[in-house]
Amino acid sequence: MANYCLPSPAKINLLLHIIGCKKNGYHKLQTVTQFINYSDTINITVTKNNIISLSSNTNKIISQNNLVVKAVKLLKYFCLKNKCINKYFGIHIKLNKVIPIGSGLGGASSNVATILLILNKIWHCNLTLPDLAKIGLLLGADVPLFIYGHTAIVEGIGEINTPISLKEKWYIIIIPPIEISTAKIFSYINTNNYSVIKTHTELLSSKYYNDFESIVVKKFPIIKKYILWLSQYVPARLTGTGSCIFAECDNQNIAYSILFNKPSEVKGFVTKSKNISPLHSVLKNKKIFSY
């Protein structure tokens, strides 16, 4: 049986704007998203029992409704329907979660993208990155970003992806002791939270901010507490629609000195942003997985 082990990296939203709502209820966004050197790990074992199974270091995600399992089933269905593979093999997935659930760091979407990218090669589906991105979008708005694997301006409901390169910087990430549901946060949105759509030049040259931050701190005052704490040292803001707070630091030493002083009840880490997803960096070094 073949075994594979690959990273499933996190991301931060350097900015995140709500710019409207489609007729189907999905909100349109503009965001600049960059990867960070902080990852879950996914181990895949190819079996011949035609069974999809999942295990993890946390029981919070073990379910047939888990997005990773849905991703495997969706890719299998798509490939069989389009006769992309001649034979289907079973898969056992072992997911080691490091990225906190409900954190805004994109863990679930990253896991889905990693699975799609790996199985596309293992099963010889021969799908392109745009093909995989379309499948991934059915499971989450952030999935195409992780499929393409490059810092990007992401727009619409996640389907418009414009790769860019930004300076790779050091960040401190604070993990408050709370999980925040993306679906719940989206339910609180109204037109007062909307931003005016901007050109890419305007986005990158304007002050970065997250439209969801005002919603989150209102509904979860504990988040405001930690934003204020971190802002004593460096300007801090929310990433995504989750609970994690991040701040740019001039260097690694400054980031660690701030982390050393964090409140005891919160977790945190220091990391560096990456223009190329750590997953894609590994894939390029594995001949069988080259894209």
- Please pick, among 40, 76, 97, 142, the residue that the annotation labels catalytic: 142
* Neighbour count for residue 133 (Cβ, 10 Å): 21
Q: Which two tokens stand for residue 185?
A: 């946060």
* Integer Cα distance of 175 and 118 in angstroms: 29
* 83-90: long-range contacts, CB 8 A cutoff, minimum separation 24: 84/123, 84/124, 84/125, 84/126, 84/127, 85/123, 85/124, 85/125, 88/50, 88/123, 89/46, 89/47, 89/48, 89/50, 89/122, 89/123, 90/46, 90/47, 90/48, 90/49, 90/50, 90/51, 90/52, 90/53
Torsion angle (degrees, nearest 10) of CA 99, 102, 107, 111: 120
Specify whether 142 is catalytic. Answer: yes
* Neighbour count for residue 72 (Cβ, 10 Å): 22
Query: Residue 45: is it exposed, middle or buried by C-beta count within 10 angstroms (0-12/13-18/19+)?
Result: middle
Residues classed as catalytic:
11, 142
